[in-house]
């Protein structure tokens, strides 16, 4: 795998300049992966630059529809922290953070619910439905999908996932729909809570016994040298990932991403992937080609591909 030097300014490319034999070879290469994953569940956490860039959002939606078309059960989970921050700023409300977490009072919670469910979720659903009428927008509050508990009163209405009720997701997936889930939830008393999208994706992937959990980010994956895209580690076992964290090779903002992946595979997800969402059609490239383009984490070196 190689990031091919893609940076924040990379723009999606289409296949209009690819000749017919090359296109055919791409399809043939994808066939064994399609056979392997048909009927399996893939959970994709959508975020980063891909969410903010219209062209990248369009290519992401096309990827999701294609996965569905070949028989892969696909679920999309998203947050929307930057969008929440933007609306708060427009409303003259200053955000407050503690230990990297947004303090969520009642007004901020209302803003989060409005942005996540009313704006971001609708945009993703609309992008997918431009290709085919498959996407159904949900929040974790719908039908008790995600049950959470308040984390800390000092943080306000911020919650941690306690349980996922997979019944509504199975109902949609069994009827060939694509669930698109925004990450607000409710506690047992019905109080709405804002939850971390990465954590929600893990819980949903675990509940569905997902084959793969994919995180779209603004980084190529795990690099042994952050200045050298060619140092991308394409496959990483959980024990080695922990060693790289301890040795400082994995550092800074990459640590929580990798810890989320480790939590997912520890919970029984087949493998977790960190992909650069700035690359057009990155989900298809990772799942359905020999080369792949990101870092895949597995329980052991011989874990699922």
Distance in angstroms (rounded) separating the CA atoms of residues 274 and 282: 11
**At 114, which CATH number?**
3.40.1160.10
Q: Rounded mean pLDDT of 283-293?
A: 85
Residue 303 domain flag: no
Q: In which band, very low, low, confident or very high, does the pLDDT at 146 lie, cut at 50, 70 and 90?
A: very high
Q: In which band, very low, low, confident or very high, does the pLDDT at 305 lie, cut at 50, 70 and 90?
A: low
Domain count of the chain? 1
Residue 244 domain flag: yes
Distance in angstroms (rounded) separating the CA atoms of residues 32 and 66: 15
What was the pLDDT predicted at 21? 65
Query: Above pLDDT 90, what percent of the chain?
Result: 67
Comparison of pLDDT for 19 and 54, the residue scoring more: 54
What is the chain's mean pLDDT, rounded? 88
Q: Rounded mean pLDDT of 48-59?
A: 86
Residue position matching structure tokens 């893609």: 6
Is pLDDT above 50 for 6? no
Is pLDDT above 60 for 211? yes
Residue 304 domain flag: no
Cβ-contact 241, 292 below 8 angstroms: no
Structural domain of 104? 20-290
What was the pLDDT predicted at 304? 53
What was the pLDDT predicted at 15? 47
Cβ-contact 296, 236 below 8 angstroms: yes
Residue 222 domain flag: yes
pLDDT digits (tens, 9 = 90+) for 89-145: 999 998 888 877 789 999 999 999 999 999 999 999 999 999 999 999 999 999 999
Q: CA separation (Å) from 229 to 1, 7, 192, 232, 266?
A: 10, 10, 42, 6, 28
Residue 144 domain flag: yes
Residue 5 domain flag: no
Q: Which tokens in the block code for residue 218?
A: 């603004």
Residue 83 domain flag: yes
Q: Rounded mean pLDDT of 197-202?
A: 94
What was the pLDDT predicted at 203? 96
Q: CA separation (Å) from 202 to 22, 118, 231, 269, 281?
A: 36, 23, 27, 8, 22
Comparison of pLDDT for 250 and 229, the residue scoring more: 250
Q: In which band, very low, low, confident or very high, does the pLDDT at 27 lie, cut at 50, 70 and 90?
A: confident
* Range of lowest pLDDT (3-7, 52-56, 114-118, 247-251): 3-7
Q: In which band, very low, low, confident or very high, does the pLDDT at 47 lie, cut at 50, 70 and 90?
A: confident
- What pTM was estimated for this model as a whole? 0.88
Residue 298 domain flag: no
């Amino acid at each position: 795998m190689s990031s091919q030097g893609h940076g924040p300014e990379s723009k999606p490319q289409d296949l209009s300049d690819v000749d017919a034999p090359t296109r055919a070879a791409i399809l043939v290469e994808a066939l064994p992966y399609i056979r392997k994953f048909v009927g399996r569940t893939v959970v994709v956490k959508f975020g980063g630059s891909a969410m903010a860039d219209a062209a990248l959002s369009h290519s992401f939606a096309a990827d999701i529809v294609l996965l569905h078309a070949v028989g892969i059960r696909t679920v999309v989970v998203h947050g929307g922290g930057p969008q929440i921050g933007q609306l708060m700023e427009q409303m003259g409300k200053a955000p407050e953070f503690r230990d990297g977490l947004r303090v969520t009072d009642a007004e901020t919670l209302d803003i989060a619910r409005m942005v996540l469910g009313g704006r971001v979720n609708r945009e993703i659903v609309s992008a997918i439905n431009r290709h085919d009428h498959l996407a159904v927008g949900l929040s974790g509050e719908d039908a008790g999908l995600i049950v959470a508990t308040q984390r800390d009163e000092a943080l306000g209405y911020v919650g941690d996932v306690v349980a996922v009720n997979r019944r509504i997701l199975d109902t949609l997936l069994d009827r060939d729909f694509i669930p698109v889930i925004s990450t607000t939830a409710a506690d047992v008393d019905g109080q709405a809570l804002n939850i971390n999208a990465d954590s929600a994706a893990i819980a949903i992937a675990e509940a569905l016994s997902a084959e793969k959990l994919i995180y779209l980010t603004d980084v190529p994956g795990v690099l042994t040298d952050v200045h050298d895209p060619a140092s991308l580690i394409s496959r990483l076992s959980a024990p080695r990932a922990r060693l790289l964290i301890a040795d400082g090779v994995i550092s800074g903002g990459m640590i929580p991403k990798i810890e989320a992946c480790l939590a997912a595979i520890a919970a029984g997800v087949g493998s977790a992937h960190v992909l650069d969402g700035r690359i057009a059609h990155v989900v298809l490239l990772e799942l359905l080609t020999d080369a792949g383009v990101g870092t895949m984490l597995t329980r052991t070196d011989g874990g699922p591909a």
